[in-house]
Structure 1
């Protein structure tokens, strides 16, 4: 008697091999049989064993559950057992604790400091974190123990973050990025090794000056010397099989190319010394649009020499979404400020549509920005970017053409660009979002991303699931990879579905040493997606107000997932959460 069987589907098994018709049998959370269907039409003898549950996957793709290695659910895991929005997109395993920010270890009384650090770097409402996190820990092993008590919709693994380690070991000196002494490094090394021995999947650090706490201070570790980085890398390796994750930049005052390649140098040296994978975030920037090629060339040479150095790329333009529910061009107009303070979300949208209110807001001067919070000055950037801002459309188009910019739409309508921007945001009852790509779109298309995806030293990452709640909604990358890159792209070459599935299953799982998942094969963990590829479609991003304390976040759903299975248990059926919670804490290899 099987627990579950999935019959008649077309298996894309995660290895990149050609698809085939087969039935899959599951028992005790594992795949126990993969029986290929015979005959040209895939008929033949199917799996005859009885099962407690059966999914008819005829006409559907059956693929492994997706492994998302770059998320920020460090706090959300305390209160949300679904870990949405990632679980909406076929993700069955998430890796958190990226970019040098996390919530353990923490000294009693320093919880708010970690909240403000996370809020500034990852744009997660501090009020939601303050209300939602239960703080049942001080050390990192205690944090893992607290998460282990949770029953989740997906498996949750995490890394120990440099910012929290520095603040814990060095106090205010660490928080303010003072240079670490040998004793400081030794103290931090003990914490990192203990964390990996307890099950941390890796260690993460941020070296980009764009990552700042809510008070404007850079993330602790931003300017760490190589002695500190190598000391913590050695400690991580001593603890077990873990990954060293970096958001790179370099020394202030250097050119982007100089800084980036200096980072590549020490990361390569570290990977060679500790014999552990080093992975870094990589995007195409407008100021140095070809620098990513140099990074990949260096990473490729490292791989050829036996050093595991991998870039994490974003599957689509990396930028921001904005509209009246979030950040936008009119946040500093006096009338808008007054109405927002007085009205709820729906009432505000209705008032903004009033012609008199519209005319007043468009004619007003802006109030001056404040030094903090960090995003207070975005309105000015948006006002002067009409030629780079796009109407995203429904279904969303993430590779838009020049005629879809706000400036082009305004010209076609005979409007001022700000007036056109206002009217576009009024659509869908004032909930419409516009898109401003910052990175990965220097050439106005996805050709750079296509090239990144073909490189053996590049893995899919940077979804930032759980983070950037008011600006970015990229936890939907897994669905976008399937729809855009394997089916819909019209402005350049696509990939096979087999290739795209592998990029977010076997490849991502392998980087983090998760050898029990990412492939549909006998003995592997039964994390499975049943997908209607013809119906698969991303929804339009929307603003929800469902975080603790009424905090807001951008959410993007999808249609076309018939079922998602975690450890042999159906967690979502036809897009609806079943309430099953088979997901657990994922500890690394000691």
Structure 2
């Protein structure tokens, strides 16, 4: 008997409307995939296929690429990327805001293990260097469902170099650069910084410029959660542009937005965006990104002053025993989410608190009422209970006005990100992500901003969440439905998405994305995760 002939292609998506990521109008076409690549995009395709999937009345798009994700925090506890892959997200750019769990000093191992356990990881922290962490994520333990491209965090570099306080000397900068070079040699995209919290906020402009100089040798990117997004927004933007400009770097300004009612001048955001546009005109490769909701996550320690945190979280927890320290703090926490100093605690929910999980999901007025306290003492008690894990305490805040969110999303210099992390509906992650940001943040762009509010056209929203991001981070061959591209694809049911309230938290995975393909392999089929881990590590090109 003759051997069976292999089909011409692995599978075909039949009869869908293709929005190819380029921004051009949708067209009806079949999409054929073979050996992980798109091999045809044409109507009436007759190739013999191993599998034929009828997507008539549905929309085929490139898999979404999140330009600003923190899924490196949760990937070890959620390798199947349940909440994001089910939204059609096939690639996430991680390691943002300066916070990565590598490189690690010996003193950083226990805090990293405790923090990662809050995201569902119950294994050992065996790595120290950045390349070792990549091995754990991508080469051991079963892989991932989604592709990941990584930044290394400046705060992690600082902590690994065992620096405290301001004014890193030449030796400290050399140690940070050594760790940075190791990460870049392992394929990191570049360095991210987070300058509103942790030891990152102790870094001077000169320190950041000195460390970032090493990126130029790799054509690396400098991404930054800048130092201020309220009264001193423009100073913070100028600092970001100076660090990138002095080193001739590509630059990404993370979630460039202004928190509502925190002291920013009325036109500060427009002037900030204007400065980015002017730098682009002058030749700097700089872009920004935005988030989909008026809500966002934040680190609780961002509200605390440096004098409390200078000797580490354990010492800070002991200081919080002192009533005089607490009294002083009430007048000296006017930073980061400054609206709490106006008494607007109702805008803040406790999202992640390993030491007091029974309070997670409650607003601070609710916590205060439950404990018979005011909101400040409730806040201090949560941080004190966390002790050495204080940096793991996360908040969810109502930060922006809907009008501001829509304006930033529509701006041509902004990619579309979520600033969350992939979650799941069971285990520790489920308890700590009770907000639609984690489950429908990506589909919200389509369901709300395209189909309901009309903030963007479908073609433009898809472009800003796919090819624009792929081009920004040099993820070659991704972000488009075209012949030769990697077959990262998502199939959208626009009618189902249009009918959804993606502002509501349901506790379920997103609906409206029946099929998701990563590197030519079905990961989600008919709305069900198949357990496929087809993701790849995407090193810097």
Partners of 2:452 and 2:482 in 1: CA distance: 29
For the residue of structure 1 that corresponds to 2:536, the secondary structure is coil
**For 2:129, which of 139, 142, 150 is the aligned residue?**
139
8 Å CA contact 1:11, 1:63 repeated in 2: yes
Partners of 1:571 and 1:532 in 2: CA distance: 17
Alignment of 1:546-565 (within 5 A): 557-565=509-517
Would you say 1:21 and 2:28 are equivalent positions?
Answer: yes
| TM superposition score normalised by structure 1 | 0.71
Alignment of 1:227-376 (within 5 A): 227-238=206-217, 240-250=218-228, 256-257=230-231, 259-280=232-253, 281-285=255-259, 286-287=261-262, 288=264, 289-319=266-296, 326-328=361-363, 329-333=365-369, 368-369=377-378, 371-374=380-383
For the residue of structure 2 that corresponds to 1:136, the secondary structure is coil
Would you say 1:461 and 2:417 are equivalent positions?
Answer: yes
**Partner deviation per Cα, 1:146-197 (whole Å, 9 max, x = no partner):** 222142111122211111111111x2xx2x3332101111121121122112
Partner of 1:477: 441
Alignment of 1:106-125 (within 5 A): 106-114=104-112, 119=115
Partner of 2:5: none
Partner of 1:499: 460
Shift of 1:274: 3.3
Given the superposition, is the C-alpha separation of residues 189 and 471 from structure 1 closer, same or farther in structure 2, using an over 3 Å criterion?
farther
For the residue of structure 1 that corresponds to 2:242, the secondary structure is helix
Partners of 1:325 and 1:234 in 2: CA distance: 41
Given the superposition, is the C-alpha separation of residues 579 and 114 from structure 1 closer, same or farther in structure 2, using an over 3 Å criterion?
closer
For the residue of structure 2 that corresponds to 1:78, the secondary structure is helix
Given the superposition, is the C-alpha separation of residues 58 and 321 from structure 1 closer, same or farther in structure 2, using an over 3 Å criterion?
farther
Shift of 1:67: 0.2
8 Å CA contact 1:115, 1:130 repeated in 2: no
Partner of 2:309: none
8 Å CA contact 1:114, 1:164 repeated in 2: no
Shift of 1:321: 8.0
For the residue of structure 2 that corresponds to 1:89, the secondary structure is coil
8 Å CA contact 2:434, 2:505 repeated in 1: no
Would you say 1:566 and 2:518 are equivalent positions?
Answer: yes
Would you say 1:192 and 2:197 are equivalent positions?
Answer: no
Shift of 1:582: 0.7
Partner of 2:301: none
Partner of 1:581: 533
**For 1:487, which of 439, 447, 451 is the aligned residue?**
451
Given the superposition, is the C-alpha separation of residues 321 and 498 from structure 1 closer, same or farther in structure 2, using an over 3 Å criterion?
farther
For the residue of structure 1 that corresponds to 2:494, the secondary structure is coil
8 Å CA contact 1:241, 1:513 repeated in 2: no
- Of 322-331 and 60-69, more deviation after overlay is shown by 322-331
Partners of 1:309 and 1:193 in 2: CA distance: 22
8 Å CA contact 1:14, 1:518 repeated in 2: yes
Given the superposition, is the C-alpha separation of residues 556 and 233 from structure 1 closer, same or farther in structure 2, using an over 3 Å criterion?
farther
Partner of 2:308: none
Partner of 1:163: 155
Partners of 1:230 and 1:107 in 2: CA distance: 23
Partners of 1:321 and 1:268 in 2: CA distance: 31
For the residue of structure 2 that corresponds to 1:31, the secondary structure is strand
Partners of 2:235 and 2:279 in 1: CA distance: 15
8 Å CA contact 1:321, 1:472 repeated in 2: no
8 Å CA contact 1:95, 1:156 repeated in 2: yes
Partner of 2:340: none
Alignment of 1:193-208 (within 5 A): 193-208=181-196
Partners of 2:85 and 2:245 in 1: CA distance: 35
Q: How many residues align?
A: 450
8 Å CA contact 1:539, 1:557 repeated in 2: no
| TM superposition score normalised by structure 2 | 0.77
Partners of 1:177 and 1:115 in 2: CA distance: 24
Shift of 1:115: 5.2
Shift of 1:139: 0.9
Partner of 1:409: none
Gap regions ≥5 residues in structure 1: 38-45, 120-125, 212-218, 338-363, 377-434, 544-554
Partners of 1:141 and 1:327 in 2: CA distance: 38
8 Å CA contact 1:277, 1:511 repeated in 2: no
**Partner deviation per Cα, 1:354-391 (whole Å, 9 max, x = no partner):** xxxxxxxxxx7769526243499xxxxxxxxxxxxxxx
Given the superposition, is the C-alpha separation of residues 271 and 539 from structure 1 closer, same or farther in structure 2, using an over 3 Å criterion?
closer
Root mean square deviation, CA, Å: 2.8
Partners of 2:112 and 2:396 in 1: CA distance: 29
Given the superposition, is the C-alpha separation of residues 304 and 33 from structure 1 closer, same or farther in structure 2, using an over 3 Å criterion?
same
**Partner deviation per Cα, 1:435-489 (whole Å, 9 max, x = no partner):** 9963221xxxx33333223323222224322489357542322200101111112
